Amino acid sequence: MDAPAAIELRGVGRRYGERWALDDVSVSVPAGATLVVFGPNGAGKSTLLRVLATLLRPHGGEARVLGEPLPEREWAVRGRVGLLAHEALLYRDLSARENLRFHARLHKVAEPRVDELLEQMRLAGRADDPVRTLSRGLLQRVAVCRAVLHDPPLLLLDEPRANLDPAAAELIEPLIGRASGRTRVVTSHDPAGGLAEADYALGLRDGRVALSAPAGDVAPAQVEELYR
């Protein structure tokens, strides 16, 4: 039996003023699968993630995330999604530990989970420093901890390996990679690497779908066309 859809979008649109950042976007992602989203800057990738995370409301079409219709039941989705955005979404004057404890309280997560993640991400030595003093790479690792703290079934990952050296990129894989077993939507500018970790590929250009297929049916050269 096919897995139920974790994400189902039909003709979804989102505009900023008169400009449509997403225009008639349709895609279905089964539970446990990985969708990788490609497209040049301004194509609508980050807007798509923010709609799925319930941070932006669609202005058209139908959206269902984890079985819940948006925006009608967005409150039922928020606590089940982990978002890793370009911005770390952390309080800069608080330490990594304080940030994670704050989010743990919001999600009713036991505090030992905070220490477990800090150890796993090899952050224990800097856990009590204000996050504004951390390098971009360390900040990204704290943001990964925040995104998975509450063990969400859906991860929305905006270029998750940005600012990470190879060792750090390998470190985060058990939490947010395919091995995590979660449904994932990942944005990428790396055609070969993105396709290698995907079950499905979606290409956006000017907010519209320019490519949509199982990842195994897509060649890197097809993705590269999106950027020309």
What pTM, to 2 d.p., does this model score?
0.94
For strands 68-70 and 60-65, give the pairing. Answer: antiparallel
Beta bridge partners of 35: 185, 200
Per-residue tens of pLDDT for the chain, all 228 residues: 466 799 999 999 999 999 999 999 999 999 999 999 999 999 999 999 999 999 999 999 999 999 999 999 999 999 999 999 988 899 999 999 999 999 999 999 999 999 999 999 999 999 999 999 999 999 999 999 999 999 999 999 999 988 889 999 999 999 999 889 999 999 999 999 999 999 999 999 999 999 999 999 999 999 999 998
Q: Which of 102, 187, 83 is nearest to 144 (CA)?
A: 83
Show Cβ contacts of residue 90 under 8 Å, excluding neighbours closer than 6 positions.
96, 99, 131, 139, 142, 143, 146
Which DSSP category does 44 fall into? S
pLDDT (0 to 100) of residue 88: 87
Distance, in Å, from the CA atom of 160 to the CA atom of 163, rounded to the nearest integer, reads 9
pLDDT for 1: 46
User: What single-letter amino acid sits at 172?
Assistant: I
* Secondary structure E strands in the chain: 5-16, 19-30, 34-38, 60-65, 68-70, 81-84, 154-158, 183-187, 200-205, 208-214
| CA distances to 61, 125, 144, 171, 172 from 120, in Å | 41, 12, 11, 8, 9
Q: What pLDDT shows up at residue 162?
A: 85
Please state the domain extents for the chain.
90-151
**CA distances (Å), origin 48, targets 57, 61, 74:** 10, 13, 15
